[in-house]
Amino acid sequence: MIDRPAFPPEGCSFIHLDEVDGTNAEAMRRVLHGERGPMWMTADRQKAGRGRSGRAWSSQSGNLFASYLVGLSCEPRNAGQLSLVAGVATIDAIRRAGEPPGLRLKWPNDVLINGAKVGGILVESSTPAPPATIVVVVGIGLNLVSAPEDLGRAATFLARHGLVLSPQDALCFLAQAMTDWMRIWDNGAGFPQVRAAWLERAGVIGEPLTINAAHGPVSGTFAGIDESGALLLDDAFGRQMSFAFGDVTLSEKENEA
């Protein structure tokens, strides 16, 4: 039996829904009606889950579908760092049940086990009136007991690797980890610590990759992330390039979803 931390974390509200189009979509609707968080929202089923760039995200019963809504007093450009904060927190939450070989992060928003996707993160934001200068919704999907077969690339789930977590357990661990890392991140002031933690949980420097950027694919090797969270890539001509947006493929066989 794994001891669960207190939930919801102090000062945080919680909403559980049987069914919704998407937890991020519902959270953003509540932002428009004045919700500023911090708040966690989960659903047993999503009818129209989304990934990055509007891609459909299969939402199979028994997995975790959660959104974290929080009002921030930081520069809007710092809000994108929360994808990396959430990635670090998700790895920490999984580690409460165990650490399967190959558990890692892929920039900017994927959680992998041996190259197969086990979780994803979607950050959306709004700029309401003060006191919050920006409200961010961090959506986190984690495959606990099943994985979609139509993702377009390899996918897996934790139970396949001997890690048994109920959605309730996973949410408790995730919420505690997010609380801890949000405190460290501190509206961006603590991003150097987040950056170091993210790199420890990611691939090795020099790993071959391709990024599908705005002007087409660029191939090279992983050179880390910079002080803002952008991907650094060394190309074949010895140039180091920085990307704030784009989909990363780690091998020719991996089709990004």
User: Domains, the chain, ranges and CATH?
Assistant: 13-200 (3.30.930.10), 208-249 (2.30.30.100)
Largest CA distance in the chain: 53
**pLDDT for 5:** 83
Q: Is pTM, for the whole model, over 0.85? A: yes
**pLDDT for 75:** 85
Shortest CA distance to 163 belongs to which of 144, 140, 184, 138?
A: 144
**pLDDT for 232:** 98
In the three-class reduction of DSSP (H, G, I as helix; E, B as strand; rest coil), residue 215 is classed as coil
Residue matched to tokens 């006191």: 131
What count of other Cβ atoms lies within 10 Å of the Cβ of residue 88? 26
- Distance CA(122)–CA(99), nearest Å, equals 23
DSSP helix, strand, coil percent of the chain (3-state; round to 5):
25, 30, 40
Residue matched to tokens 């399967």: 100
CA distances 174 to 28, 112, 136, 201, Å, are 20, 16, 17, 16
Direct distance between the N- and C-terminal alpha carbons of the chain, in angstroms, rounded to an integer: 35
**pLDDT for 170:** 96
Regions of the chain short of the pLDDT cut 50: 53, 253-257
